[in-house]
């Protein structure tokens, strides 16, 4: 069977995917995959890469320990499973790290072109009895780096088969979150830990700021590893990006210059980092000037940048940056900049703040207009606005170039279920492009390997803080102080605004589907509830949400700041763990997700999705006033325009729609159905956000 050699189907044949799809649906979904060529020529591109993030390996994890905050899966008796305590705040057992690498080796290793690894490869500092130390933080980081290097070693044993691009997580340093301006010992040490991944000619700049890029397809595509700790509001060791003395400012200068080079060379760039540029009406993760500049850069380099890929948040979601939020005064830190009232987001989002955060995103998205859709040969147009003025008027910003997309991938650490993402991109015209070859391959090993002990010995941080506790105290002060700095004068008011794309330049791969555009991704997850195979006994009466009521505003209080997970208060009935065979399976794929309906991963596709997620009925009053009804109808019509998926829900709505508008009961019913449908995309998004761990009933509580 010819298809057997195709990537996804090979997985099926290994019995690895317990796909909810039937075989034919799976085949259809995989039809976009290209047939591999049979020659044994040098590596060729597959149009696929792995994004893995937030591994958080924990050497103190003990199976059948307690998920209580005080125990953190390190001790006591409880329901911690062999491969991790799903839905809890415990970190990752080594067994899960091993199993993840084994799965990658068996299933995707030979089918990917590069790996994006967005940080946090150390445990959290969550156990007072065993505070983290340098050896541990660097130890697990070295371990993961070595695992990647071994798995992807080229035959010479000195180099790699494919490029791997790491980046700093806020837990990869000590105390967490605080990275002082470089050069410093952390940067120096990581330039050794990641020596196989950082191109030799960039080691110097890496030691200065922790940023670098790799030409993953030489002369075609580069992946930028941004040191987002220098943008991170929680990093008390640096200031915002407004002053030239700050490393965040310098990093953005470097990025601007590099993206300019990329443009000159006709190359495209994927930007990656740990902390995403999340920013809602009330909260943000980056310093405002950093966010402003980054967004400005991406607007000006919209012909170059494909997408931004981030981690840190553990929840599966995406962000849309709006260039209309850029104010030049804010970029340079001028006093007359609009007052920024956003608070820094909590360090580790509790479930409550996660819920709030997602609702805020939805709120923002509810203000979006549906983009004009595109098709070959012109604008199909007729967005929600266009529809009202019939007659083929020109659509403004047909490619959605006002916006930018950041994809935030969820984590290996099983705050929900462990999960990883395989993205696919268009390699049309690149079938015979020369692929990346590890330059280290031809070097003497002695040039590469440095004295690790020596580097470690000298790792004395220019630290302000003895411990995280001191740091917390300081950030609290910082928070209070955080008011508009009225007298602040910018040290350097001149902002170098990058040139926009040439007037004649076609839209970039982030905006119109072309070579190097992302075409979709498959999200894999491991169902630990199934795999851990815990037979739960001695069930105490502490059942999550037992007494929840629909009218309870704080219904998610059951998700405590420290989450004990779905088995809290329970113990395994069998003394010996008896797990099933570990495997990742497909959670969903954008290629066939009937509700997401993403025909590609361009900005417009996500603006459209965000628009649909943002749509909601005005209030829950079913017998609402007529005008609201009208608005609803309009919204539903707009969505139905390009409905391609069919499911009962939708068909029902369609039928009702065709009937003449009635009054009374029928109207009520109709409206209820519409609401159901209106919230469906939102709930589906939430289901993905929490990696399928929330029950249907729980999802409904988000309104």
Ligand X SMILES: *[C@@H]1O[C@H](CO)[C@@H](O)[C@H](O)[C@H]1NC(C)=O
Contact between residue 686 and residue 358 where contact means Cβ atoms under 8 Å apart? yes
Q: Is the dihedral of CA 554, 555, 556, 562 positive or negative?
A: positive
Number of residues that make up the chain: 703
Number of residues that bind ligand X (CB under 6 A): 30
Note whether 681 binds ligand X by CB under 6 A. Answer: no
Note whether 219 binds ligand X by CB under 6 A. Answer: no
Note whether 616 binds ligand X by CB under 6 A. Answer: yes
Note whether 34 binds ligand X by CB under 6 A. Answer: no
| Of residues 491 and 580, the one with the C-beta less far from ligand X | 580
Provide the CB-side half-sphere exposure for 323 (13 A, CA).
Answer: 16
C-alpha angle 454-459-462 in degrees, rounded to nearest 5: 150
Rounded distance between C-alpha atoms, residue 118 and residue 275, angstroms: 9
What is residue 378's three-state secondary structure?
A: strand
Note whether 547 binds ligand X by CB under 6 A. Answer: yes
Contact between residue 214 and residue 222 where contact means Cβ atoms under 8 Å apart? yes
Shortest Cβ 180–ligand X spacing (Å): 33
| Of residues 75 and 530, the one with the C-beta less far from ligand X | 530
Rounded distance between C-alpha atoms, residue 553 and residue 556, angstroms: 8
User: Near ligand X by CB under 6 A, which window of 68-76, 92-100, 228-236, 441-449?
Assistant: 92-100
Rounded distance between C-alpha atoms, residue 369 and residue 372, angstroms: 9
The answer to whether the peptide bond before residue 183 is cis (omega within 30 degrees of 0) is yes
| Of residues 353 and 514, the one with the C-beta less far from ligand X | 514
Note whether 482 binds ligand X by CB under 6 A. Answer: no
Q: Which of 495, 607, 617, 686 binds ligand X (CB under 6 A)?
A: 617
Note whether 676 binds ligand X by CB under 6 A. Answer: yes
What torsion, rounded to 10 degrees, do the Cα atoms 673, 677, 680, 681 define?
-170
Cite the DSSP H helix spans in 377-499: 384-388, 445-448, 452-457, 468-481
Note whether 16 binds ligand X by CB under 6 A. Answer: no
Closest C-alpha to 212, from 228, 227, 196: 227
| Of residues 334 and 558, the one with the C-beta less far from ligand X | 558
Helix (H) or strand (E) holding 658: helix 648-658
**Interstrand relation of 518-525 and 373-375 (parallel, antiparallel or unpaired):** unpaired
| Of residues 366 and 452, the one with the C-beta less far from ligand X | 366
Note whether 513 binds ligand X by CB under 6 A. Answer: yes
Q: Which of 3, 21, 95, 699 binds ligand X (CB under 6 A)?
A: 95
Rounded distance between C-alpha atoms, residue 11 and residue 27, angstroms: 12
193-229 as b/e: b if 16+ CB within 10 A: bbbbbbbeebbebbbbbbbbbbbbbeebbbbbbbbbb
Note whether 657 binds ligand X by CB under 6 A. Answer: no
Radius of gyration of the chain (CA): 25
Note whether 300 binds ligand X by CB under 6 A. Answer: no
Note whether 600 binds ligand X by CB under 6 A. Answer: yes
What torsion, rounded to 10 degrees, do the Cα atoms 124, 686, 509, 210 define?
-10
Shortest Cβ 208–ligand X spacing (Å): 33
User: Near ligand X by CB under 6 A, which window of 236-244, 259-267, 347-355, 613-621?
Assistant: 613-621
| Of residues 110 and 146, the one with the C-beta less far from ligand X | 146
| Of residues 18 and 25, the one with the C-beta less far from ligand X | 18
User: Near ligand X by CB under 6 A, which window of 170-178, 290-298, 617-625, 629-637?
Assistant: 617-625
User: Near ligand X by CB under 6 A, which window of 254-262, 275-283, 327-335, 573-581?
Assistant: 573-581
Note whether 529 binds ligand X by CB under 6 A. Answer: yes
Rounded distance between C-alpha atoms, residue 7 and residue 36, angstroms: 9
Shortest Cβ 535–ligand X spacing (Å): 5
Shortest Cβ 273–ligand X spacing (Å): 26
Q: Which of 533, 628, 668, 701 binds ligand X (CB under 6 A)?
A: 533
Q: Which of 327, 360, 692, 699 binds ligand X (CB under 6 A)?
A: 692
Note whether 323 binds ligand X by CB under 6 A. Answer: no
User: Near ligand X by CB under 6 A, which window of 44-52, 94-102, 309-317, 451-459?
Assistant: 94-102
Note whether 540 binds ligand X by CB under 6 A. Answer: no
Q: How far, rounded to the nearest angstrom, does the alpha carbon of residue 81 sit from its chain's CA centroid? A: 26
Rounded distance between C-alpha atoms, residue 283 and residue 325, angstroms: 14
| Of residues 239 and 698, the one with the C-beta less far from ligand X | 698
Q: Which of 218, 515, 555, 628 binds ligand X (CB under 6 A)?
A: 515
Shortest Cβ 153–ligand X spacing (Å): 14
Note whether 578 binds ligand X by CB under 6 A. Answer: yes
In the block, tokens 């104010």 appear at: 327
User: Near ligand X by CB under 6 A, which window of 378-386, 390-398, 654-662, 672-680?
Assistant: 672-680
Closest C-alpha to 252, from 340, 332, 173: 332
Who contacts 560 (Cβ-Cβ below 8 Å, separation ≥6)? 350, 351
Q: What share of the chain is helix, strand, coil (3-state, %, to 5)?
A: 35, 15, 55
| Of residues 377 and 619, the one with the C-beta less far from ligand X | 619
Q: Which of 535, 554, 623, 627 binds ligand X (CB under 6 A)?
A: 535
> Which residues contact ligand X by CB under 6 A?
94-95, 98, 426, 428, 513-515, 519, 527, 529-530, 533, 535, 542, 546-547, 574, 578, 580, 600, 616-617, 619-620, 675-676, 679, 692, 703
């Amino acid at each position: 069977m010819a298809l057997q050699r195709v990537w996804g189907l090979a997985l099926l044949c290994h019995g690895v995917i317990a796909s909810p799809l039937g075989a034919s649906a799976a085949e259809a979904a995989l039809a976009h995959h290209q047939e591999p060529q049979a020659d044994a020529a040098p590596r060729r591109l597959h149009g696929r890469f792995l994004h893995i993030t937030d591994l958080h390996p924990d050497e103190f994890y003990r199976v059948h320990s307690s998920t209580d905050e005080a125990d953190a899966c390190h001790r006591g008796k409880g329901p911690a499973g062999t491969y991790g305590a799903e839905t809890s705040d415990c970190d990752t057992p080594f067994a899960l790290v091993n199993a993840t690498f084994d799965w990658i080796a068996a299933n995707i290793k030979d089918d990917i072109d590069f790996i994006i690894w967005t940080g946090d490869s150390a445990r959290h500092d969550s156990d007072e009895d065993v505070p983290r130390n340098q050896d541990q933080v660097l130890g697990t980081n070295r371990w993961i780096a070595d695992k990647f290097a071994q798995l992807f070693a080229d035959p010479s044993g000195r180099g790699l088969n494919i490029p791997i691009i790491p980046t700093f997580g806020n837990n990869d340093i000590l105390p967490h979150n605080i990275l002082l301006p470089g050069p410093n010992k952390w940067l120096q040490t990581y330039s050794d830990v990641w020596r196989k991944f950082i191109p030799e000619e960039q080691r110097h700049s890496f030691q200065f700021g922790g940023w670098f890029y790799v030409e993953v397809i030489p002369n075609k595509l580069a992946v930028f590893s941004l040191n987002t700790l220098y943008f991170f509001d929680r990093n008390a060791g640096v200031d915002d990006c407004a002053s030239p003395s700050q490393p965040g400012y310098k990093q953005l200068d470097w990025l601007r210059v590099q993206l300019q080079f990329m443009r000159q060379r006709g190359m495209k760039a994927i930007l990656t980092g740990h902390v995403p540029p999340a920013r809602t009406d009330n909260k943000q993760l980056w310093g405002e000037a950093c966010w402003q500049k980054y967004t400005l850069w991406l607007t000006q380099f919209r012909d170059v940048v494909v997408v931004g890929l981030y981690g840190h948040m553990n929840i599966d979601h995406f962000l849309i940056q709006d260039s209309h939020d850029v104010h030049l005064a804010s970029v340079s830190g001028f006093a007359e900049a609009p007052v920024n009232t956003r608070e820094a987001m909590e360090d580790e989002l509790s479930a409550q703040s996660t819920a709030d955060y997602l609702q805020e995103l939805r709120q923002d998205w509810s203000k979006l207009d549906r983009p004009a859709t595109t098709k070959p040969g012109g604008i199909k147009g007729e967005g929600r606005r266009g529809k009202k003025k019939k007659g083929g008027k020109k659509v403004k910003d047909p490619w959605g170039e006002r916006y930018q997309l950041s994809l935030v991938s969820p984590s290996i650490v099983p705050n929900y279920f462990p999960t990883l993402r395989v993205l696919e991109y268009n390699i049309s015209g690149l079938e015979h492009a020369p692929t990346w070859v590890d330059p280290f391959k031809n070097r003497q090993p002695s040039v590469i390997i440095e004295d690790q002990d020596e580097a470690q010995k000298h790792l004395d941080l220019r630290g302000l803080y003895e411990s995280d506790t001191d740091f917390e105290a300081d950030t609290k002060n910082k928070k209070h102080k955080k008011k508009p700095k009225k007298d602040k004068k910018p040290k350097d008011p001149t902002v170098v605004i990058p040139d926009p794309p040439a007037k004649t330049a076609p839209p970039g791969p982030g905006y119109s589907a072309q070579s190097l555009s992302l075409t979709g991704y498959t999200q894999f997850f491991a169902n630990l509830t199934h795999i851990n195979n815990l037979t739960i006994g001695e069930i105490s009466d502490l059942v999550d949400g037992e007494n929840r009521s629909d009218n309870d505003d704080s219904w998610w209080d059951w998700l405590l700041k420290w989450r004990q997970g779905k088995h809290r208060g329970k113990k395994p009935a069998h003394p010996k763990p008896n797990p099933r065979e570990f495997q990742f399976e497909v959670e969903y794929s954008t290629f066939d997700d009937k509700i997401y309906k993403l025909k590609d991963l361009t900005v417009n596709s996500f603006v459209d999705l965000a628009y649909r997620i943002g749509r909601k009925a005005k209030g829950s009053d079913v017998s609402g006033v007529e005008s609201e009804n009208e608005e609803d109808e309009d919204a539903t019509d707009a969505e139905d325009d390009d409905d391609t998926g069919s499911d009962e829900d939708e068909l029902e709505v369609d039928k009702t729609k065709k009937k003449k508008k009635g009054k009374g009961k029928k109207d009520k019913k109709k409206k209820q159905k519409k609401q159901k449908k209106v919230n469906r995309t939102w709930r589906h998004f939430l289901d993905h956000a929490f990696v399928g761990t929330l029950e249907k009933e729980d999802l409904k509580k988000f309104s």
